[in-house]
Amino acid sequence: MSTERTEINALGEFGLIDHLTQNNETRNASTILSVGDDAAVLDHFGKQIVVTSDMLVEGIHFDLMYTPLKHLGYKSVIVNLSDVYAMNATPTQITLNIAFSNRFSLEAMDEFYEGVYAACERYGVDLVGGDTTSSQKGFVISITAIGEVNQDKFVKRSTAKKGDLLCVSGFLGGAFLGLTILEREKRIFAETGAQPDLENQAYIVGRLLKPEARKDIVEFFAEKEIMPTSMIDVSDGLSSEALHICKQSNLGCVIYEDKIPIHEDARQFAYTLELDPTACALSGGEDYELLFTLSQTDYDKIVLNEQISVIGYMTEAEEGTHILTRGGNKHKLVAQGWNHMNHSQQ
């Protein structure tokens, strides 16, 4: 963090918004009017638009002890864009509301916004409005993302069909392991004052602190003319998300343990901690990969994409929701992961 410190109230609320949005650029033709009025104006020329909104709360969703504010700004945008991609849509605008106590300086806010703008730039999204306010305690971030999708090309959670392939992008479980190591090092620091030892853990720490949204997968679908039959982003762990698709599509599923994609670095670190890598993928969250179902006839279109793994298939609801282990055992899928609400109330 920068060593300068400017008190926010030296600027006032409007001065702060002016300051934080002075380098804000407009990238989308659909952004007719951006920050600086009562509302932004968008024109989607007959395309359908998607809207999603998420809130991140200090002490619940992030710990500023080991989360750089720039990364937090970046991630706050990513978690919302991920929901837009999970609709098979392209994000175009966001609004950003933040509440923060007076322990935050202007320099701290600048770092946070730097991350927000970096994500906006990378994903071609416009920041079109929002609100900054004070809080009595802590930092609260609320983002709404808007995206567009061609007429009736959006993909819901509820439209998977029996026999469809269950697929996931990238690798799972890494973010949970990143959280585990950061929490461990925080504890050690509190007890002994020892500096964090994160050597060789860049992959898993990066998965937690600087996730990406799977723009590439949605672009791949468009290029190959693939319409997933259902889709959801993996924010609460594979089990929880697979169960959402099953419940909302009124189906069951089978997942093969040996097909679940886990990065080698994540697997090694899990073994070091005597954790089961599969459990990390099933119940750890915040991977922001896409979980989707495909008609079997689309298999040829995805087989060469190394970013996509087929991990199972959809069944009748009566057959239940199961994972088949390497050892040949069949377990019921349980959503036990990453429920921020339960987590915080434990």
By CB under 8 A, what part of segment 259-318 binds a second copy? none
Among 1, 29, 103, 134, binds a second copy (CB under 8 A): 134
User: CA-to-CA distance for 266 and 270, rounded, in angstroms?
Assistant: 6
By C-beta, is 48 or 268 nearer to a second copy? 48
Regarding 42 and contact with a second copy (CB under 8 A), the answer is: yes
- The CB-of-211 to a second copy minimum distance in angstroms stands at 15
Selected range binding a second copy among 163-171, 176-184, 226-234, 268-276, rule: CB under 8 A: 226-234
Dist CA 346 CA 246 (whole Å) = 28
- What's the rounded Cα separation, in Å, for the pair 67 and 269? 20
Residues linked to residue 165 through DSSP beta bridges, in sequence order: 294, 313
Three-class DSSP category at 246: helix
- How far apart, in whole angstroms, are the C-alpha atoms of residue 313 and residue 296? 9
Nearer to a second copy, 135 or 268 (CB): 135
245 near a second copy, rule: CB under 8 A = no
Helix 106-123 vs helix 12-20: crossing angle, to nearest 10: 40
Neighbours of 219 (CB within 10 A): 12
Candidates 4, 46, 193, 318; binder of a second copy (CB under 8 A) is 46
Q: Are 126 and 93 in contact (CB under 8 A)?
A: yes
53 binds a second copy (CB under 8 A): yes
Task: Closer to a second copy by CB, 24 or 48: give it.
Answer: 48
Whose CA is closest to 89, among 98, 101, 80, 97? 80
Name the 3-class secondary structure at 93: strand
Q: Can you tell me the distance from the alpha carbon of 56 to that of 97, in angstroms, rounded to the nearest whole number?
A: 11
Residues 2, 5, 9, 330: which binds a second copy (CB under 8 A)? Answer: 9
Does position 344 bind a second copy by CB under 8 A?
A: yes
Q: Give Rg (Cα) of the chain.
A: 21
Distance of CA 278 to the CA centre of its chain: 20
Other Cβ atoms less than 10 A from the Cβ of 108: the count is 19
Looking at 138, 196, 206, 320, which residue binds a second copy (CB under 8 A)? 138
The interface with a second copy within residues 195-224 (CB under 8 A) comprises none
**Bridge partners, 100 (sequence order):** 134, 139
Q: Which stretch binds a second copy (CB under 8 A): 33-41, 69-77, 175-183, 272-280?
A: 33-41
Stretch that binds a second copy, among 98-106, 208-216, 255-263, 301-309 (CB under 8 A): 98-106
Q: Which of 43, 219, 316, 319 binds a second copy (CB under 8 A)?
A: 43
Q: Tell which one of 24, 27, 33, 307 touches a second copy (CB under 8 A).
A: 33
Structure tokens at 87: 């609709």
Contacts of 226 (CB under 8 A, 6+ apart): 220, 294, 298, 301, 302
Residue 191 DSSP SS3: helix
- How far apart CA 94 and CA 130 sit, in angstroms, is 9
Among 84, 175, 179, 333, indicate the residue that binds a second copy (CB under 8 A): 84
- The correct pick among 20, 119, 125, 145 for binding a second copy (CB under 8 A) is 145
* Interface pick for a second copy out of 150, 158, 296, 325 (rule CB under 8 A): 158
Residue 186 sits in the site that holds a second copy (CB under 8 A):
no
96/323 with CB nearer a second copy:
96
> Which residue, 227 or 262, is less far from a second copy as judged by CB?
227
What minimum distance in Å lies between the beta carbon of 285 and a second copy? 12
Nearer to a second copy, 29 or 202 (CB): 29
Of 132 and 278, CB closest to a second copy? 132
